[in-house]
Amino acid sequence: EEHDASYKQQDKAPYYQAKDVALWMGGRWGIPVILGSATPSPESWAACMRSKMTKVTLTSRFADQPLPVWQWVDTIAERLAGKMQGEFSTILLEAIRHELKQGNQVILFKNRRGYAPQLTCEDCAWSARCDQCDLALVYHKWEHRLRCHGCAQIFGAPPACVSCGSTRLKFKGYGTEKIEEELQLLLEGYTVGRLDQDSVRSKSAYSRTLDAFEKGQIQVLVGTQMVSKGLDFPRVNLVGVLDADQGLNRTHFRAQERSYQLLAQLAGRSGRHQGTGTVLLQTRMPHHPLFALLQAQDYTSFMDQELLFREQHLYPPFVRLIRLTLGHAQAQVLQKSADTLALWWRPWLGTRLIGPAPPMTALLRNEYRLEMWIKAEKDPHILRKIRDSLPPSLHQLSLIREFKGLRMSLDVDPE
């Protein structure tokens, strides 16, 4: 899956792209490199259009099976009609029960682990948040604890509101743990399993869960993105997506691309051996253009639209992106250091420089963060100037005593 974001090193420097390393090594040693994907990245697609890569199209599916059927459920309309049971529409539940009665299995996708993503007070609107991060705490019922998914801190679940003392606390939202629990009650006589970071903390636990599903000991498998990764089970003809809009609502230029790729990958888990597979998506936006393109299996039209958007708004593959992340324990010191850098860079970068501005998580592990982005056209002269100018100015900034303790992280072509 060449489009997968995991090929990009994101946790710590060096922030290399494994695909680029493979292509460089192939070019250096004269070895052909195959980038395989049913939904190639815009970068690879554009390279094929410019004849820098050769596109080879596979015209038939695995085992010559027919492509899956797409079905949408409007959850707003279903809820107004009283046809929702928690996170599940009547249509989805009936489809699941039908498959199980046929002796088949079902995969359900929800890209949010834990039991509930938010704990709030019904009286004063207080919500449980991490004291070291700008993040809500996620409730994990199996351990009756609140966890921060940013810094991994663990807190006890309070019996009452820490702000007003009210006992009217409410867990809001659905994670995979809650979905597993409720499905087990709704599907009496069947076994529901879960595949996420919490339930399979080791490689052996991961293998045990998949082995149990393969042997039919688990009839319904609920999971996060783990369930989309190349699994092949002969008795799975139905894949349900509980919140198909989740990825579309991200404030990221790759939101549409990632959503299409993920949903197409999930569809590939259904109907791989017998019958025609079905992908049932629950959505609040059933008329979203992306869903129509998915139904038509028209990745070419989707990519044409996506590349047009990228070109108009100056995003990869038409420009190079550089992200500088600055971090400091003191917000005022951080802001001043970022303003200083912007003062040095803006005269020669001009509108190519964006920021400084806080990222989605502005406080992480007791460190305040700001980001600066550079959008650079693919001009060798400009790219060379940026490459030669950035490191010395960052070094100069680090020598200013006032900014002692400043953390700087430079990522070229971030995901």
404 or 200, which is more confident:
404
118-121 vs 169-172, strand pairing mode: antiparallel
User: How much is the pLDDT for 60?
Assistant: 74
Look at residue 223 and tell me whether its pLDDT is greater than 90. yes
Rounded Cα distance, 411 and 415, in Å: 9
Percentage of the chain modeled with pLDDT above 70: 99
Rounded Cα distance, 307 and 310, in Å: 5
Look at residue 200 and tell me whether its pLDDT is greater than 90. no
Class of domain 319-412: alpha beta
User: How much is the pLDDT for 176?
Assistant: 95
Look at residue 62 and tell me whether its pLDDT is greater than 80. no
Look at residue 65 and tell me whether its pLDDT is greater than 90. no
User: How much is the pLDDT for 12?
Assistant: 84
In this prediction, residues 173-198 reach a mean pLDDT of 94
pTM score of the predicted model:
0.91
198 or 358, which is more confident:
358
Backbone angles phi, psi at 342, to 5 degrees: -65, -35
Q: Could you give the count of Cα atoms lying within 13 Å of 86 in the half-sphere of its Cβ?
A: 17
Contact yes or no for 2/44 (Cβ under 8 A): yes
Contact yes or no for 94/187 (Cβ under 8 A): no
User: How much is the pLDDT for 160?
Assistant: 95
Give 113-172 pLDDT, tens digit per residue. Answer: 999 999 999 999 999 999 999 999 999 998 899 999 999 999 999 999 999 999 999 999
DSSP string for residues in 327-383? EESSHHHHHHHHHHHHHHHHHHHGGGEEEEE--SS-EETTEEEEEEEEEEES-HHHH
Give 281-327 pLDDT, tens digit per residue. Answer: 999 999 999 999 999 999 999 999 999 999 999 999 999 999 999 99
Specify the domain boundaries for CATH 3.30.70.600 within the chain: 319-412
120 or 203, which is more confident:
120
Q: List the structure tokens of 382.
A: 């400009």
In this prediction, residues 85-89 reach a mean pLDDT of 93
User: How much is the pLDDT for 185?
Assistant: 95
CATH superfamily to which 65-114+175-299 belongs: P-loop containing nucleotide triphosphate hydrolases (3.40.50.300)
- Over the chain, what is the mean pLDDT? 93
User: How much is the pLDDT for 95?
Assistant: 97
Q: List the structure tokens of 326.
A: 């600055």
Give 260-282 pLDDT, tens digit per residue. Answer: 999 999 998 887 878 889 999 99
User: How much is the pLDDT for 273?
Assistant: 78
Give 20-38 pLDDT, tens digit per residue. Answer: 999 999 999 999 999 999 8
